[in-house]
Amino acid sequence: MFPNTSWGIVLAARDDESGREAFSTLGRRYWSPIYGSLQRQGFAPADAEDLVQGFFLHLIEHHTVARANPERGRFRSFLLGALRWFLANEHERERARKRGGESVFVPIDSGEVESALQHDRESRATLDLQFDRQWARALVRNALSALRAEYVESGQAQAYAILQPYLDPGVETPSYATLATQLDRNEGAVKVAVHRLRGRFREVLRREVECTVATAQEVEDELAYLRDVLAAEPAAAAAP
């Protein structure tokens, strides 16, 4: 029922010896909300990085997937609940932190999210809201990465690099005339290209959300909620 989704990966890992690889995949996609939540709760960046590694290893070793049930909620809720349990258990947390420091299970580039984290630290957002903001940002980054890969594969890497600013409402974009010169196209063709890029981004982002919920109705609800979460934060932090 949940193939090729985050829930599908989790459920497959229940009885699959490749569970470590499955959670490494999930970690690469969703490490930033975990990392951001750990920092917000007072852990230094280096400790937060180690705990991210340890947390995903912990999910495997303690068979947390056996308790995962897509019918009970969204995938972000599952991860947040697992993180709360993990942090409440001081012994397991410290053990996981040490183990995380010994391995690079999940590649982390904290520089990607530090600007947004700074805004979160300065705001009065609750821990839950901060986690959801980081979650929304992660989905946007995943969608942008997938979209860029599509353009690169079709030989349009340069076009994507030039047009991509039009996907970010928080930045000032060049005129269509400027883009026409850069792309050696007329302005009408540029307008069509921007329209197509935006449309494809919406499709890819929707696919990202579909990976984290159980029903079609939840997709619409989740998209609306995540849009509201990002719209409510400062523009500098909301920009993907």
pLDDT at 102: 62
pLDDT at 1: 40
CB 53 within 8 A of CB 101: yes
The residue whose two tokens read 């039009």 is: 166
pTM of the entire structure? 0.82
Compute CA distances 226 → 31, 103, 130, whole Å.
Answer: 17, 32, 12
Q: How far apart are CA 68 and CA 45, in angstroms?
A: 29
pLDDT at 15: 54
pLDDT at 239: 43
pLDDT at 9: 66
One-letter-per-residue 3-state SS of 160-219: HHHHHHHHCCCCCCCCHHHHHHHHCCCHHHHHHHHHHHHHHHHHHHHHHHHCCCCCHHHH
Question: Given CA atoms 40, 46, 47, 52 in this order, what sign does their dihedral have?
Answer: positive
CB 115 within 8 A of CB 237: yes
pLDDT at 236: 42
Q: How far apart are CA 190 and CA 102, in angstroms?
A: 50
Q: How far apart are CA 120 and CA 184, in angstroms?
A: 41
Domain assignments of the chain as residue spans, ordered by start: 1-112, 128-240
* CA 99, chain centre distance (Å): 24
Q: How far apart are CA 142 and CA 75, in angstroms?
A: 15
Q: How far apart are CA 97 and CA 87, in angstroms?
A: 11
Residues 6+ apart with CB under 8 A from 140: 205, 230, 240
pLDDT at 233: 65
CB 117 within 8 A of CB 239: no
Q: How far apart are CA 106 and CA 30, in angstroms?
A: 10
The residue whose two tokens read 């690889």 is: 21
Low-confidence ranges of the chain (pLDDT < 70): 1-20, 63-73, 96-105, 233-240
Q: How far apart are CA 174 and CA 51, in angstroms?
A: 42
